[in-house]
Amino acid sequence: MASYIHVVLLFVSIFSLFLLYSSSSLVPVRSEYEVSLLFEGWLVKLNKSYQDLAEKEKRYEIFKDNLKYVDEHNAGNHTFTLALNVFADITDEEYRATYLGTLPTPTGIDMIDDNGNESDEYNLNETVDAVPDSVDWRDLGAVQPVRNQGGCFSCWAFTVVAAIEGINQIVTGDVVALSEQQLVDCERKSCDPYDLDRPMQYVMKNGGIDTRQDYPYTGVYAKCNTTKESNKVVTIDGYKRIPSNNEKILKTHVARQPIAGAVEGYERAFKLYGSGVFTKYCGTALDHAVTLIGYGTEGTQDYWLIKNSWGDFWGEAGYIRLERNVNDPAGKCGIAKTALYPTKVNLGNRN
Ligand SMILES: *[C@@H]1O[C@H](CO)[C@@H](O)[C@H](O)[C@H]1NC(C)=O
Ligand SMILES: *[C@@H]1O[C@H](CO)[C@@H](O)[C@H](O)[C@H]1NC(C)=O
Ligand SMILES: *[C@@H]1O[C@H](CO)[C@@H](O)[C@H](O)[C@H]1NC(C)=O
Ligand SMILES: *[C@@H]1O[C@H](CO)[C@@H](O)[C@H](O)[C@H]1NC(C)=O
Ligand SMILES: *[C@@H]1O[C@H](CO)[C@@H](O)[C@H](O)[C@H]1NC(C)=O
């Protein structure tokens, strides 16, 4: 009799342990000590230090709060993970104030043809189905290493430069790193938000753009160096705007070359993105320029492959994959809303 009760008790306790385990999901319970170890490890990894102890304490609390959000997300069954990336010690407000800003909508001009003339012609009958199922321009040498815009709101310059570097490599075979700083100093004349049209127009009108080596990135605005500005190393013929809100058309263009685009990065999950295909809620009010460098499908999940300019300690070594073919015509995070590309001769000869 006694042993029977024991067996029942044992069974009940195992069962309740099981219930406890499954209901609490898999969110790790972390001691203060463990969190502090994670924080110290993170600081070493980023080679980061703070001016005083008070600042360190403050950053630790923010780190802890971000960690909680990351842990809770990662305990769920999602197509992507969050991570203690480069933004792990800043608040959402700081992130939005420093790294995001409303991109002005360019007015008037829809497209510019190869002669630099305005054009509203667009052949919507492009062979939408005749493009590959997946493309990764990194494999084809048209994408240079991920860079870091720092505290300057110059994402638009990085995106325009990445698109020009891409088409230049595709057409000429040359891998030439180009100058974001020139666009900041000589065209925008500040570290403020900007659209993607005017920097493209500037490169056309200037007759080219200097190399990154000659006119290196500093992350702060300085007076335009006109000697360097006259170093027109890489040219483009024009640029074109891709019709908005159509992921199919966007795909045909990404299959041809890296494309300058923009997203909304407002959500906390975007800030702390780690890896996988981002499928969580995201608005479409564009506040950050990025470069589309490919697309593909993971399992059944279609995605856009996107190069960012927040260094390689964010996302998948500096890249993010965004859900593709969503119900909203604007695309995930508004990726299909605004996209344009530089044109350069001989592209048509390429297969
Ligand atoms: C780490 O940062 C310090 C200054 O904060 C700098 O002197 C040093 O060169 C950095 N080390 C690396 C490996 O980046
Ligand atoms: C996780 O989600 C996927 C896709 O929604 C589903 O197929 C799978 O069964 C889920 N796994 C668990 C453990 O819930
Ligand atoms: C483009 O504009 C220029 C004047 O700015 C004009 O001479 C030229 O004919 C135009 N080209 C086309 C193809 O319309
Ligand atoms: C697009 O295709 C339709 C139907 O095949 C045709 O009527 C139309 O003229 C085409 N438009 C262009 C710009 O080629
Ligand atoms: C501008 O660039 C030239 C050539 O690279 C350099 O010699 C000069 O010092 C620069 N001017 C300024 C103001 O930095």
Q: What is the DSSP string of 156-171?
A: HHHHHHHHHHHHHHHH
* Number of other CB atoms surrounding residue 92 within 10 Å: 17
Nearest atom within ligand 5 for CA of residue 226: 1
Task: Name the residue at shortest CA distance from atom 9 of ligand 1.
Answer: 47
Residue 148 is encoded by which pair of tokens?
Answer: 């870091």
Residue 339 is encoded by which pair of tokens?
Answer: 């996209």
pLDDT for residue 349 = 34
What does the CA dihedral 182, 186, 188, 192 come to, rounded to 10 degrees? 60
> Would you call 149 exposed, middle or buried from its count of C-beta atoms within 10 A (0-12, 13-18, 19+)?
buried
Task: Name the residue at shortest CA distance from atom 11 of ligand 5.
Answer: 225
Contacts of 285 (CB under 8 A, 6+ apart): 102, 264, 266, 334
pLDDT for residue 351 = 31
115 Cβ inside 6 Å of ligand 3: yes
The catalytic residue among 152, 282, 288, 333 is: 288
Give CA–CA dist 146/308, Å, rounded.
7
Respond yes or no: is residue 253 known to be catalytic.
no
Which residue, 108, 104, 109, 102, is CA-closest to 239?
A: 109
Residue 331 is encoded by which pair of tokens?
Answer: 């695309």
Out of 3.40.30.10, 3.90.1640.10, 3.90.70.10, 3.50.50.60, the CATH code matching 111-343 is: 3.90.70.10
Nearest atom within ligand 4 for CA of residue 125: 1
Residue 46, CA distances (Å) to 70, 87, 268 in order = 18, 11, 21
Task: Name the residue at shortest CA distance from atom 10 of ligand 4.
Answer: 125
Give the sign of the dihedral formed by CA 169, CA 335, CA 115, CA 193. negative
Decide if 277 contacts 287 (C-beta within 8 A): no
Residue whose token pair is 């000869």: 349
Decide if 144 contacts 167 (C-beta within 8 A): no
pLDDT for residue 18 = 44
Give CA–CA dist 25/168, Å, rounded.
50
Q: How far is the CA of 346 from the centre of ligand 2 (A)?
A: 47
227 Cβ inside 6 Å of ligand 5: yes
For the chain, give every domain's residue range. Answer: 2-77, 111-343
b/e 295-329 (16+ beta carbons within 10 angstroms → b)? bbeeeebbbbbbbbbbbbbbbbebbbbbbbebeee
In the structure, which protein residues have their CB atom closer than 6 angstroms to any atom of ligand 4?
123, 125
pLDDT for residue 243 = 81
Going residue by residue through the chain, which has 351 residues, state the pLDDT in tens, using 9 for 90 and above.
455 555 554 544 544 444 444 444 689 999 999 999 999 999 999 999 999 999 999 999 999 999 999 999 999 999 999 999 999 999 999 999 999 998 876 654 555 555 555 655 454 455 555 789 999 999 999 999 999 999 999 999 999 999 999 999 999 999 999 999 999 999 999 999 999 999 999 999 999 999 999 999 999 999 999 999 999 999 998 888 888 888 988 998 999 999 999 999 999 999 999 999 999 999 999 999 999 999 999 999 999 999 999 999 999 999 999 999 999 999 999 999 999 999 998 543 333
pLDDT for residue 23 = 43
Instruction: State pTM to two decimals.
Output: 0.84
pLDDT for residue 106 = 61
Decide if 238 contacts 343 (C-beta within 8 A): yes
Contacts of 119 (CB under 8 A, 6+ apart): 110, 111, 112, 113
β-bridge pairing 319-323 and 273-278: parallel
Q: How far is the CA of 276 from the centre of ligand 2 (A)?
A: 15
pLDDT for residue 110 = 52
Decide if 141 contacts 169 (C-beta within 8 A): yes
Give CA–CA dist 337/236, Å, rounded.
23
Q: How far is the CA of 127 from the centre of ligand 4 (A)?
A: 12
Which residue, 310, 270, 279, 346, is CA-closest to 155?
A: 310
Q: What angle do CA 133, 137, 138 make, to 5 degrees?
A: 125
pLDDT for residue 17 = 45
Respond yes or no: is residue 288 known to be catalytic.
yes
Question: What's the start-to-end Cα distance of the chain, in Å?
Answer: 82
Respond yes or no: is residue 73 known to be catalytic.
no
Q: How far is the CA of 327 from the centre of ligand 4 (A)?
A: 26
Torsion-angle region of 245 (φ positive above 0: left; ψ -120 to 50: alpha; else: beta): left
Counting Cα atoms < 13 Å in the Cβ hemisphere of 150 gives: 9
Task: Name the residue at shortest CA distance from atom 1 of ligand 1.
Answer: 47
The catalytic residue among 155, 186, 191, 333 is: 155
Q: How far is the CA of 115 from the centre of ligand 3 (A)?
A: 7
Task: Name the residue at shortest CA distance from atom 5 of ligand 4.
Answer: 125
Nearest atom within ligand 1 for CA of residue 47: 1
